[in-house]
Structure 1
Amino acid sequence: MNALFGANWTAWAAVAGSGIFHGVNPAMGWLFATALGLQRGSRRALLLALPPIALGHAASILLFTSFAAAIGAYVPGAALHWSLGALLIGWAAWQHAYGHRHRVRVGMTVGFAGLAAWSALMATMHGAGLMLMPAMLPLCGGGFGSLRGASDTFAVSLAFTALHTLTTLATTAAIALLAYEYLGLGVLRRGWINFDWLWRGALVATGTLMIATA
């Protein structure tokens, strides 16, 4: 098991990198945390919003990585890559056509559980966990052949989720505090990139990579 965690460092780097990418995306939570802090005039309100946002995101990621670990350990093969690649590209197409009609909105008075549930739903609807599939499968599939049994696959899933969540949380907190203290939400109008398009492009690119590595 220790050898597994030390091997294929590019997969772990990809997980950390995707955490940064998810953290920068306003839809993953920093925008809500900043707005909550500004609305209440309290940095403490902003900081208290971060743990449930991270918890909800982690729950969604763990769901998908556990799924990938299970199917990658027991159903290896090109068909798996083709199926997941098609799913990612199809999800991007659905987001482009219908995603704007299904925005999940919560009020500024939402509690810890409600905010965690919102975060989990947003991550799931955006296909955040699906983006980790190319990094997950080499560690859990027949190509690596290093895992034996459900305990090993779940351990990798937990490690992926922990690393990804920590990098996402750190990025989310940094941007939320920067916007709260210095930039304000006007930065989204002045020069923020269109993350909807960028996110869909990332889904398509990840799906293409899955198919190309089949």
Structure 2
Amino acid sequence: MLPERLNSPESTALWLTVAALGAWHGLNPGMGWPLAVANGLMARRAAALPGTLLPLAAGHLLAMAVVLLPFVALGTLLAWQREIRIGAGLLVVAYGAWRLIDRRHPRFLARVRPTQLVLWSFLMATAHGAGLMLLPFALGLCMPAASAGLPAAGLAVAGVAAVHTGAMFATGLVAAWAVYRWLGLKALARSWIDLDAVWGASLVLAGAASVAVAL
């Protein structure tokens, strides 16, 4: 059982933010839904869309957990919870600022084979700081659980990562279906929007929000 505070009315806004960030990640083409469209068009069947997005979601889920768990585990050090949240927020701000300055995509991602979707999604989410963007809000939900010990902290992280990834999968599937069913990849290429600046700004805002709440 999760601590009662984790399911209290006060945590509703944080849960909604976790889900909203998942939706934002799902809509971002950089998280992989164009791969689902490409596979669907090549296979000429809509079933290829969720079949591609499921391993992408699995990789995203792992990336969230790998980033969140160490910080939440540190929450067992009750006397340092405030400093941990401030430090995490500053880390997110710094990474977001770096993403705004350097928008190049990591070259090693190009060497991952198209069949390794889970690995590709894990590396992509990690390289883009997707887990870091979620971190400030996840800490607000998971720190109470961390005070009950590492098993409770792990359960809290799993819950947050699952809600976030579920929203990511749902919105990614909607985006992929819309392009597959009505627009096609050519229309996507013509109307492509560079979201790198928006992504970097989102990281900065998430980190600043964490620091402001912790102070």
Q: Normalized against structure 2, the TM-score is what?
A: 0.86
Asked whether the equivalents of residues 54 and 169 of structure 1 are also in contact (C-alpha less than 8 Å), the reply is yes
Residue type of the partner of 2:139?
Answer: L
Please tell me the residue identity of whatever aligns with 1:139. Answer: L
1:133-179 deviations in Å (ceiling 9; x for gaps): 222222333xx578411111111101001111111111111111111
2: distance between equivalents of 1:177 and 1:24?
12
Distance 2:137 2:33 in 1: 25
What number of residue pairs does the alignment pair up?
Answer: 209
Unpaired segments ≥5 residues, structure 2: none
Is the contact made by 1:73 and 1:140 (CA closer than 8 Å) also made in structure 2? no
1:180-208 CA distance string (max 9 Å, x none): 11111234344454311111110010111
- Residues 190-205 of structure 1 mapped to structure 2, 5 A cutoff: 190-205=190-205
Aligned residue among 17, 24, 28 for 1:25: 28
Counterpart-to-counterpart distance in 1, 2:91 and 2:23? 23
What are the within-5 Å matches in structure 2 for residues 45-194 of structure 1? 45-74=48-77, 76-103=80-107, 104-105=109-110, 110-111=114-115, 114-141=116-143, 144=144, 147-194=147-194
* Alignment root-mean-square deviation, CA: 2.2
User: What amino acid maps onto 2:18 in structure 1?
Assistant: V
The sequence identity of aligned pairs, in percent, is: 33
For 1:37, the equivalent position in structure 2 comes to 40
TM-score, scaled relative to structure 1: 0.87
What is the CA-CA distance between 1:30 and the residue it aligns to? 0.6
User: CA separation in 1, counterparts of 2:73 and 2:145?
Assistant: 13
Q: For residues 139 and 57 of structure 1, what CA distance do their matches in structure 2 show?
A: 19
